[in-house]
Amino acid sequence: MNTKSFNRVGLVGRQGNPHVLDSLQRVRTLLEEIGIEYVVENDTARMLEVDNIATENRADLGRDCDLIVVVGGDGSILGVARDLAHSGVPILGVNRGGLGFLADIAPNQIERQGREVLLGQYRVEKHFLLDMIVRSNGKSGGSSPALNDIVVNAGTMSRMMDFSLFVDDEFVYEQRSDGLIIATPTGSTAYSLSAGGPIMHPGLDAIVVVPMFPHTLTSRPLVVRGDSKIRVELGNAADTPMVSADSQVDFVLKAGDHVEIEKHPHPLNLAYPIGHSFFDACRSKLDWASRLGGGP
């Protein structure tokens, strides 16, 4: 448990959602009641339409703040993680999205749980990211970090692609499928889960490799060490093969390209209220608490 309170808080909100605006206003009110200085990301400030508030570019928040509050869904936190994980500043999520594995505080708990965190009653979980770089004819063709996953895919519905998988330069297999998901423990409850991958505790130092609709009955998810270096080499591919980081940053691939993946040097520090539990979240978000037939 941490007992450090915060001096300057950055506010980031998901764009285009009226419910986010209401929660942002409540967070601002709470900060002002407690007496904590805050600064608002430029795009978020335009949503608030309030005069005389301090604003900054997102890239500067990690330098000037000691906590960043993100109001939105897990997708909003993914973007902030890619941009600011290197700063080491903890991120606190207020959930105005869907499942909310990362954005933990519910809107009706802003005043209670948010106050506890802001006054120093919180815990921090470290979530590692992946770095992805595309190599085309030996040259860099784009790169991005990812908190959830790197997905290599055919890019066209109902088309398959050929590729080879290597782990630490050791050949693993050739495969013909719709693509491959390489996910962190954080991302194991996202796209990887829907493709049949395992649920991994966020504290694990491991990476899961999940085939997407492979053209074989024996291909299964593979879990490797967190410090593994993974390489996907494209063979014959569909017309527009792609690789994406967190389904938010995309690069077009072509036959012969390599996608190289390894652990990002800086973890994301996620702040949670005291009492947060990954297994509680699984029971709630994945409906583990239900019984067949609805009986006791």
User: From first to last of its 296 residues, what are the pLDDT tens digits of the chain?
Assistant: 565 679 999 999 998 778 899 999 999 999 999 999 999 999 999 888 777 899 999 999 999 999 999 999 899 999 999 999 999 999 999 998 777 789 889 999 999 999 999 999 999 999 999 999 999 988 888 999 999 999 999 887 667 889 999 999 999 999 999 999 999 999 999 999 999 999 999 999 999 999 998 888 888 999 999 999 999 999 976 678 999 999 999 999 999 999 999 999 999 999 999 989 999 889 888 888 666 555 55
Q: Which residues are catalytic?
A: 74
Domain 8-128+267-294 is of which CATH architecture?
3-Layer(aba) Sandwich (3.40)
Cβ–Cβ under 8 Å, residues 57 and 65: no
Domain 130-263 is of which CATH architecture?
Sandwich (2.60)
Task: Provide the pLDDT for residue 295.
Answer: 55
Q: How many CB atoms lie within 10 A of CB 249?
A: 18
Give CA–CA dist 105/223, Å, rounded: 30
List of residues 6+ apart from 197 with CB closer than 8 A:
181, 183, 188, 208, 210, 221
List of residues 6+ apart from 240 with CB closer than 8 A:
154, 155, 156, 252
Cβ–Cβ under 8 Å, residues 162 and 179: no
Q: Which two tokens stand for residue 15?
A: 């764009």
Rg, C-alpha atoms of the chain: 20
Provide the H-helix boundaries in the chain: 18-34, 42-48, 58-64, 74-84, 115-118, 191-194, 278-285
Q: What are the sequence ranges of the domains in the chain?
A: 8-128+267-294, 130-263
Give CA–CA dist 101/108, Å, rounded: 17
Task: Provide the pLDDT for residue 170.
Answer: 98
Task: Provide the pLDDT for residue 103.
Answer: 87
**Cut 0.85: pTM above it:** yes
Cβ–Cβ under 8 Å, residues 278 and 104: no
- DSSP string covering 219-231: ---EEEETT--EE
Task: Provide the pLDDT for residue 109.
Answer: 93
Q: Which is nearest to 167 in space by CA: 127, 218, 212, 207?
A: 207
